[in-house]
Amino acid sequence: MVKLENITKNYLQGKMEVPVLTDINLHVKEGDYVAIMGPSGSGKTTLMNIIGLLDLPTSGTYTLAGENMEGRRENDLAEIRNHTIGFVFQQFNLLPKESALSNVALPLIYAGVPKKEREERARKALEKVGLGERVTFRPNQLSGGQQQRVAIARAMVGEPKILLADEPTGALDTKAGIQIMQLFQELHKEGATIIMITHEMEVAECADKIVMLRDGKILEEHPGRGYVLEEVEQ
């Protein structure tokens, strides 16, 4: 599904090229649940932006869903991105004045889905994340964990091939974070391909595989626990 071969990314700082990612090789297959873990500044968000077609690598080959992403125009990349990837961010990124239902239905507008079907699908997606009773609520009427569930419903409503999450529990308390990890586990069981970025070991352990990033390089890969520990220490 995602194949990165010898990916590098440099940023220009003045006249200096600063390497941020060096020789990244990563293979994520359909149905995989992978955590990319590393300390702050290790290049996680840069890597996520490349996987999510929000940024281009300096060199290397990126194959997404069997297609080489090299040399494509911005329009094509945006189109592929919309069809292939659902994003979840640390800060939810919901529209504050819109209801949960409108927030979730929004990507379907860009996909050209008619209004009635948009609302039906958004409602179903919200039911799926346990918010069927909250469809008319605006973000500020929801808890952080509930807002993140709206964001996950929005990410999944277009039935993307990959769910890409950058620090999805980073803004949440432990209990809400565990609920989000339980939701990811459920989506994974139903066949979703998930790539989750985190700097927290307990979060990474919920995935089937953990990829350790350090200073822009993959340090090692090892299996995760693959399920969510339910006990919450207070």
Ligand X SMILES: Nc1ncnc2c1ncn2[C@@H]1O[C@H](COP(=O)(O)OP(=O)(O)O)[C@@H](O)[C@H]1O
Residues that bind ligand X (CB under 6 A): 11, 20, 38, 40-46
| For Mg ion, the closer CB: 91 or 141 | 91
Q: Which does 42 bind (CB under 5 to 8 A by kind): Mg ion, ligand X, none?
A: ligand X
Burial class for 105, CB neighbours closer than 10 Å (0-12, 13-18, 19+): buried
Alpha-carbon span 183 to 68, nearest angstrom: 31
Question: Considering the complex, what minimum distance in angstroms separates the CB of residue 21 from ligand X?
Answer: 8
Inter-CA distances, 49 with 45, 52, 134, 185, 202, Å? 6, 5, 31, 23, 23
Question: Considering the complex, what minimum distance in angstroms separates the CB of residue 18 from ligand X?
Answer: 6
Instruction: Give the nearest residue (CB) to Mg ion.
Output: 45
Q: Which does 38 bind (CB under 5 to 8 A by kind): ligand X, Mg ion, none?
A: ligand X
Return the axis-axis angle of helices 100-110 and 115-128, rounded to nearest 10°: 130
| For ligand X, the closer CB: 146 or 198 | 198
Question: Considering the complex, what minimum distance in angstroms separates the CB of residue 41 from Mg ion?
Answer: 8
| Count of beta carbons in the 10 Å neighbourhood of residue 83 | 13
Question: Considering the complex, what minimum distance in angstroms separates the CB of residue 138 from ligand X?
Answer: 29
Alpha-carbon span 213 to 137, nearest angstrom: 38
| For ligand X, the closer CB: 165 or 228 | 165
Task: Give the type of residue at 192.
Answer: A
| For ligand X, the closer CB: 122 or 167 | 167
Question: Considering the complex, what minimum distance in angstroms separates the CB of residue 167 from ligand X?
Answer: 8
Q: Which does 176 bind (CB under 5 to 8 A by kind): ligand X, Mg ion, none?
A: none
| For Mg ion, the closer CB: 32 or 166 | 166
Touching Mg ion, residues 34-93 (CB under 5 A): 44-45
End-to-end Cα separation, the chain, in angstroms:
39
Q: Which does 178 bind (CB under 5 to 8 A by kind): ligand X, Mg ion, none?
A: none
CA nearest to 165, candidates 92, 88, 91: 88
b/e sequence 113-135, b meaning 16+ C-beta within 10 Å: beeeebbebbbebbebbebeebb
Q: How many residues bind Mg ion (CB under 5 A)?
A: 2
Alpha-carbon span 199 to 136, nearest angstrom: 34
Question: Considering the complex, what minimum distance in angstroms separates the CB of residue 30 from ligand X?
Answer: 26
| For ligand X, the closer CB: 43 or 168 | 43
Q: Which residues of this chain interact with Mg ion, rule CB under 5 A?
A: 44-45
